[in-house]
Each structure stands twice: as structure tokens, then as C-alpha cells.
């Protein structure tokens, strides 16, 4: 059985972020989590491999306070010899959702890693739909294109500033040369 969670639409302001309050009398997990979805290149233009990063706050599992662990769940295709995970299909590609747990969860009593894994995978399965992953992929691509445009504009500005500095240096050089010739001509007369 996995803990229940309630979405908080206004807490996580990252472009691909969500937030949930976790709590259920039937399952001993409580806390708050920020979820940030991401995509990894798959080698194919149209089929990214999705994942979710869970940043927990005040996480308590089976009466053990774990603090603020970060857990990652990522899709790995069946051709990828990654660790075992839960079967999952992303954009028609068969694979597994592989969970990476932090040290404080891995070293907790046996029941704790299983409960955290179940919670993270349950949320990931709900969130990593093809539609949502495509939207995240689009948002990240737009953000990347906008950053490239800003970087290009900044590079053009720097190039223009360097052109001004270069012209000033040439003017200073020409003035110094003219002064030197003037002094040389004055010495001859």
C-alpha cells in the first residue's frame, strides 16, 4: 500500500515542478515533496527518456525522521543494462523506472527504503505520462532556445564592446605615433 498525497498547485514554481503533501493513516509516511520532471536525451529526436526528481521536506517514514532526502526515478529502456526497476512504457518504448535513493534512506531499516521507493514510483507512474513528458520536453526546449538567444545577444553585445575598445586602442596608438613623430621632428629642428 502506498501513501496518499494531495497536490499543492502553487508551491513549486519551477517550470516543470509540482508539489504534494504526503500523509495517510494507513501508511506510515508523512511530509512534503517538490517534484521536478526532467527528460534525458534518448538518441532519438522525438522520444526523450523521462524522469522525476523528488525533493522531500520533513519526511518521516515508519516514525523515522529522514529530513530532506532527494530521490530520483528515471526511465531506462530495456536495452539499457541499468539496475532493476518497475516495468514502464514511455512513448511506446518498453523499459523500467529505476529509483536512486540517497544514503540516509538506503541505510535506514529495511521497511523504509521500500516505502520511499513505492511512494516515488507511484508518483512517477502518475506523472510521467507521454502527454506530460512531451510538454516538459517542449518547455525545456523552449527554455533552451531562449537561453541560446540571450547568450547570442550577450555575445553580440560583448563583440560590439570589444570593437569600441579596439577602436579606442587604435586611436590611442595613432595619437601616440603622431606624438612620437612630432617629438622626433622637433628634435631635428
Q: Which sequence spans correspond to the domains of the chain?
A: 5-128, 130-189
Contact (Cβ atoms closer than 8 angstroms) between residue 92 and residue 125: no
For 112-143, write each residue's pLDDT tens digit: 999 999 989 988 998 888 888 888 878 888 88
pLDDT at position 168 over 90: yes
For 67-108, write each residue's pLDDT tens digit: 999 999 998 888 766 568 888 888 888 888 999 999 999 999
Provide DSSP, the chain.
----EEE-TTS--STTEEEEEE--SSS-EEEEEEEEEEEE--SSSS-PEEEEEEEEEEEEETTEEEES-EEEEEEEETTS-----EEEEETTEEEEEEEE--HHHHTS-THHHHHHHHHHHHHHHHH--HHHHHHHHHHHHHHHHHHHHHHHHHHHHHHHHHHHHHHHHHHHHHHHHHHHHHHHHHHH-
**CB neighbourhood size of 124 (10 A):** 24
pLDDT tier at 53, thresholds 50, 70, 90: very high
- pLDDT for 16: 76
With vertex at residue 183, the alpha carbon angle to CA 177 and CA 184, rounded to the nearest 5 degrees, is: 90
For 42-52, write each residue's pLDDT tens digit: 666 556 788 89
Phi, psi of 39 (to 5 degrees): -130, 145
Q: Which residues pair with 38 in a beta bridge?
A: 51
pTM for the whole thing?
A: 0.72
Residue of 55, 72, 45, 50 lying closest to 18 (CA atoms): 55
Amino acid at each position: 500500500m502506498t501513501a496518499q498525497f494531495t497536490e499543492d498547485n502553487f508551491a513549486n514554481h519551477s517550470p516543470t515542478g509540482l508539489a504534494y503533501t504526503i500523509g495517510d493513516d494507513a501508511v506510515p509516511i508523512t511530509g512534503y515533496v517538490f517534484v521536478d520532471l526532467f527528460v534525458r536525451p534518448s538518441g532519438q529526436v522525438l522520444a526523450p527518456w523521462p524522469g522525476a526528481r523528488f525533493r522531500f521536506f520533513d519526511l518521516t517514514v515508519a516514525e523515522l525522521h529522514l529530513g530532506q532526502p532527494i530521490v530520483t526515478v528515471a526511465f531506462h529502456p530495456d536495452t539499457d543494462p541499468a539496475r532493476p526497476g518497475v516495468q514502464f512504457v514511455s512513448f511506446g518504448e518498453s523499459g523500467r523506472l529505476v529509483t536512486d535513493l540517497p544514503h540516509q534512506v538506503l541505510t535506514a531499516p529495511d521497511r523504509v527504503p521500500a516505502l520511499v521507493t513505492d511512494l516515488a514510483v507511484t508518483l512517477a507512474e502518475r506523472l510521467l505520462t507521454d502527454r506530460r513528458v512531451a510538454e516538459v520536453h517542449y518547455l525545456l526546449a523552449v527554455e533552451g532556445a531562449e537561453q541560446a538567444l540571450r547568450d547570442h545577444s550577450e555575445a553580440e553585445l560583448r563583440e560590439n564592446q570589444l570593437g569600441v575598445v579596439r577602436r579606442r586602442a587604435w586611436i590611442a596608438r595613432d595619437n601616440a605615433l603622431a606624438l612620437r613623430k612630432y617629438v622626433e621632428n622637433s628634435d631635428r629642428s
